Structure 1
């Protein structure tokens, strides 16, 4: 099943407990149907230098029409000056999973 109506939106956090709390808040607010939190090693340019850090990646599954509100809420809740927020479209998925995702983010 193809569906441009859904996205996976990603952000990161430098603290595991904070990442889990952020994910729980966003799912609890029904801005995402579910979230996955897992460790990643990040290399990035910040304040004039290459930085390395262990971060916690949060992948949020949601409807595409929730992207702006979800992005705004991440900005409100996040401790980073410039939190990562990127989204990729869901190209295909099982009809039952996408139906569940739509139902859990309705309203």
Structure 2
């Protein structure tokens, strides 16, 4: 089950953040504000409570693959099964890692899939099953907030009976 992000309100400037105040003018108090000066905020915006209660929480699945072609194939499979609404595939980047006792440097692409928390287990299982890597990076990130219309679209695209749009 997804956990709800806790937003904090800085009592020195009334900014709402997911951590200490980040305003430039408050740089000096970022490290000096005791935890008691940061209060949890239940409704950070008029739609915050609605977004949490009425919409399935938005999740992002981050993974890397050896090529854009591999990423596209995985994205098409997961979107085709309605486990994700869309995917963004990055330009090639360099990955440096140790594998089997050897430091390696190879080209990879990153992919970010957008889905719902209710589909997280199925999305991870299918991504793991289809991923060409022996030990894939499959990292789920929960969105602290998102545009309501975008959340609606994610829900629509990942519904079992969706006709797409």
TM-score by length of 2: 0.60
Deviation by residue 1:22-79 (Cα, 9 ceiling, x = unmatched): 1111111110000001123222221112222211111000001211111111121111
**1:27 maps to which residue?**
79
- More RCO (CA 8 Å, sep 6+): 1
Q: Name structure 1 gaps, 5 residues minimum.
A: none
Residue 98 (structure 2) aligns with: 45
1:97 corresponds in structure 2 to: 150
| SS of structure 2 residue aligned to 1:99 | helix
Once superposed, what is the RMSD of the aligned Cα atoms? 1.5
Larger Rg: 2
> How many matched pairs?
107
Name whichever of 49-58 and 1-10 sits farther off. 1-10
Structure 2 unaligned residues grouped into runs of 5+: 1-46, 161-165
Higher strand share: 1
Structure 1 residue 15: deviation in Å? 2.0
Q: TM-score, normalised by structure 1?
A: 0.90
